[in-house]
Amino acid sequence: MRRASAFLCTVVLALTACGSEDATLTGFERDPAPEVGGFTLPDLSNGGDEFPITADPGELLVVYFGYTNCPDFCPTTLSDVKLARNRLDADDADRVELAMVSVDPERDLPILPEYVAGFVEDGHALGTDDAGALAAVAAPFGVTYAVTEDPATGEPLVTHSTWLYAVDDTGTLALTWQFGTTIDQLATDLEILLDRQDAA
């Protein structure tokens, strides 16, 4: 969901010990890493309570910006997150939460919780009809999106970047994945990031 040209990132190859071998992150880190934990959005999965864009202590928050009518990128990415979590051991899987932020709130708000739960049962459905609040949350991630009208059909036309993000328990954007990252690569990166949390 991200256009690579939307922002320039410094790719840092991070190594961490994994048994007797080193594991390399597939996702990339931004330098400096953006701070996103100061923002909140209503969690429609939890009665609209404000949800801080940060992980709980010792955990990770995987964040995706998309919309429920998306035919391809969104369902594929959410499914990949679900399957990557399933490849972790139970304790680690419990330390990885998912939050989806709607970029098409006019259509999504009534159905977003059900949509997110269809992929990750305990996922967080984040949505607001306050365009300014949504833009403020999206900006430090580097997210781009637009909702216009298809001139041929008159139907809403949504464009958006296709990246997936990991936020740590300090509210820092820890890692960014391009669309097409495999399930195994996601799972490995999550394990590396959780190990970092443990070592911090």
Q: What is the pLDDT of residue 200?
A: 78
Any idea of the CA torsion for 35, 37, 41, 47, to the nearest 10 degrees?
Answer: 160
pLDDT at 22: 53
Tell me: cis bond preceding 57? Omega within 30 of 0 counts.
no
- Provide the H-helix boundaries in the chain: 73-86, 90-93, 105-108, 112-117, 131-141, 183-199
Q: What are the pLDDT digits (tens) for 5-55?
A: 333 333 333 333 333 235 799 999 999 999 999 999 999 999 999 999 999
What is the per-residue pLDDT across 65-123, written as a single tens digit (0 to 9) for each?
A: 999 999 999 999 999 999 999 999 999 999 999 999 999 999 999 999 999 999 999 99
In the chain, the domains with their CATH numbers are 33-199 (3.40.30.10)
Alpha-carbon span 136 to 69, nearest angstrom: 23
Whole-structure pTM value: 0.88
Assign 35 to helix, strand or coil: strand
Residue 58 clears pLDDT 90, i.e. is over it: yes
- Helix, strand or coil, per DSSP, at residue 92: helix
Q: Specify whether the CB–CB gap between 166 and 34 falls below 8 A.
A: no
Question: For residue range 177-191, what is the model confidence (pLDDT) as tens digits?
Answer: 999 999 999 999 999
**Cα(190)–Cα(174) distance, integer angstroms:** 11
Residue 11 pLDDT: 35
The pLDDT of residue 13 is 33
Work out the angle between the directed axes of helices 183-199 and 73-86 (0-180°, nearest 10). Answer: 60
Q: CA of 9: how far to CAs of 32, 132, 145, 147, 153, in Å?
A: 9, 25, 19, 26, 37
In this structure, the strands spanning 164-167 and 173-177 are antiparallel
CA distance 123 to 112: 11
